[in-house]
Amino acid sequence: MDEKSIILRAQDGDDESFSLLVEKYNDAVFTVCYAVLKDYHNANDAAQDTFIKAYKNIKKFKFDSSFQTYITRIAINTCKDEFRKMSRQNGNLSIDSDENLCEIKDTSDTPEKALEKKERRDAVRNAIASLPQKYREVIVLRDINGISYEEIAKILKSSQGTVKSRINRARSALKEILQKDGTFL
């Protein structure tokens, strides 16, 4: 069954069809939420809230963009609301310890190479986390989730030129951070 059929069935109240959409987009939504909030537990909560909002409003989806664009827009708005709420409560936010970060296991390398890759991944993750939110969003959407410039422009309600400019600036900032840190890619 194609995605449009699944969405139409979900719009007709078929919970199993909506569950298929959750399964398909869960990782991408969490990645966006984590990129914005920089906290595992808050990102998890925001991802769940995103799907609750999408479920409640699925009938409003009009197919003028992809479902990925639609769900990502909901995720970003949910995260922005959560980020504002967290900022008011905490005054300031910091990156949580490594125990909250998702681990990607690589079993094909020697322990030395595996450690080197982990250190690079951590350096890149920390560099991305240190970027301003507008740059963090576009890097995660484009380079981690593989979303097209056109779709990112729709998600962020910006022009493609703005998106490309932000991605270029974000990549330059990442390169500078990683070179200053001594991490070479």
End-to-end C-alpha distance for the chain, whole angstroms: 41
The answer, yes or no, to whether residue 100 has pLDDT greater than 60, is no
Q: Across the chain, what does the average pLDDT equal?
A: 83
Q: Nearest Cα to 32, choosing from 99, 78, 92?
A: 78
Supply the pLDDT for residue 26: 94
- In the chain, what are the domains? 1-96 (1.10.1740.10), 103-185 (1.10.10.10)
What are the backbone angles phi and psi of residue 94, rounded to the nearest 5°?
Answer: -135, 165
**Average pLDDT of the segment spanning 54-82:** 91
Per the confidence metrics, is the pTM higher than 0.75? no
The answer, yes or no, to whether residue 91 has pLDDT greater than 60, is no
Supply the pLDDT for residue 93: 44
**Average pLDDT of the segment spanning 29-50:** 89
Find all residues with CB under 8 Å of 129, minimum gap 6, and list them.
Answer: 38, 95, 136
**Average pLDDT of the segment spanning 161-184:** 88
Q: Give pLDDT tens digits for 119-134.
A: 777 788 888 888 998 8
Collapsing DSSP to helix, strand or coil, 182 comes out as: coil
Cβ of 113: how many Cβ atoms within 10 Å? Answer: 11
Supply the pLDDT for residue 60: 93
